[in-house]
């Protein structure tokens, strides 16, 4: 486990990513549940129920890092923020 969490939230109609204390960035949509930002790609995978369950990160030469979804309690759409720790 890398001990890093990515926070992903839907804000103002766009999916946004925040990593630690870094500034939040908007994720650009690519067909097939794939999003990109600053040269990195996040490929979301869905559970049998259809909800995103994890994503695979490709960032430059680093490829295939898996992050699993952890929902925060008490938050509801559209401001729900999910945390995605690396496994």
Structural domain total, the chain: 1
Domain CATH code at residue 75: 2.40.128
Q: What is the pLDDT of residues 21-40, one digit of tens each?
A: 888 999 999 998 999 998 99
Q: Which residue has the tokens 């759409």?
A: 77
Confidence of residue 2 (pLDDT cuts 50, 70, 90): low
Show the domain range for 54. 5-85
| Residue 78 pLDDT > 50 | no
Listed in order, strand segments (DSSP E) in the chain are 5-11, 14-19, 25-26, 28-30, 34-37, 40-46, 52-59, 62-68, 70-71, 81-85
pTM of the predicted protein model: 0.73
């Amino acid at each position: 486990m890398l001990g890093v969490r990515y926070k992903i939230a839907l804000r103002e109609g766009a999916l946004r990513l925040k990593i630690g204390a870094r500034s939040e960035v908007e994720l650009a949509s690519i067909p097939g549940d794939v999003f990109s930002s600053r040269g990195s790609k996040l490929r979301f995978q869905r559970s049998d129920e259809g909800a995103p369950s994890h994503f695979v990160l490709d960032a430059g030469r680093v490829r295939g890092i898996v992050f699993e979804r952890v929902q925060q309690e008490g938050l509801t759409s559209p401001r729900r923020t999910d945390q995605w720790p690396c496994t």
